[in-house]
Amino acid sequence: MLKKRKGPLVLFYIFLLLLSFRVTAQGSQYYINELFDANPPPQVLKEGPVVRIIQPGVEKPMANEEQFEPGSDLGLELELELELELEAEQPEPSQQPQPKSLGKVALTFDDGPDGRYTGRILDILKTEDVPATFFVVGEAVERYPETLKRIFNEGHLIANHSRTHADFALLDNEDILTTELIPTSRAVEKITGYFPLIMRPPYGSLRQDSVQFVRESGWKIVRWSLDTFDWDSTQNSPEQILNRIQTLHHRGAIILMHCNGPATTRVLPDLIKMLRDLGYEFVRVNEL
């Protein structure tokens, strides 16, 4: 009798366990996917680009099943006719199928500038003609002003990532502004003449009351929708990052990367090529 009762009880406990995981996952997802208010929740597209294949022409049978030897007059005449037919079937260069456009994506780089990897990232972006957004840390801005100036001069968007990379969830709202955001934007303005009002909280961490306070103070909050995990040495090989992009890419993606480590520079050229082949256009976050 006791054995018969165990089955339903075990199923009941498993149901409660799964329900608790679901609630936790939904709660954590809110932080990560909050972008601009105007953006709908991202839709993950797993399809690749549609490629049209031009089938080769098929030789027509000769009248009366007449055979010919290669190189004979009749053979040369039919070979020439076949070549002309095949050429006529080929579209003009302007008619060649183009990759299907999947919309815009934004590459974003946190935690810079630094004295080693940021310059390499800028070299790659310049070679590939890709605009990006750099969420900079105030202390690093003061340490590497020339690198920050290069970011600005090469047409990338500079945004605010705090002064000390503190966890904003642990700070008072006034301190978030007066000790972290405003000093960083003033440091950027001193070097470039531009005062950023777009911010990303370190770790994506921001209390809901702080979200409202920061917005009412005139700032736009941008987190991300696709984390490359280039910061995590346990899962940031080029193959792992590219597989992640291949699986999770979507229209309007804000892609999180960092500009102070080697994993990013190793994978960046292939990542750009993959997204281009999928049909995406690269923009700054304020252009999404």
Residue closest to 263 by CA, chosen among 222, 288, 228 = 228
Handedness of CA 118, 122, 123, 125 (dihedral sign): positive
From the list 161, 227, 258, 277, the catalytic residue is: 258
Catalytic annotation on 114? no
Contacts (Cβ under 8 Å, ≥6 apart) of 40: none
**Set 37, 73, 110, 232: catalytic member:** 110
Residue 175 is a catalytic residue: no
- Report the C-alpha gap between 181 and 176 in whole angstroms: 6
- Two tokens, residue 251: 């229209």
Contact 20, 12 (CB under 8 A): no
Q: How far apart are CA 89 and CA 55, in angstroms?
A: 10
Tell me which residue of 112, 79, 264 sits closest to 200, measured CA to CA.
Answer: 112
DSSP string for residues in 164-229? S---GGGS-HHHIIIIIIHHHHHHHHHHHS----EE--GGG---HHHHHHHHHTT-EE---SEE--
Q: Smallest Cα–Cα separation from 104: which of 235, 282, 227?
A: 282
Q: Which residues are identified as catalytic? A: 110, 258
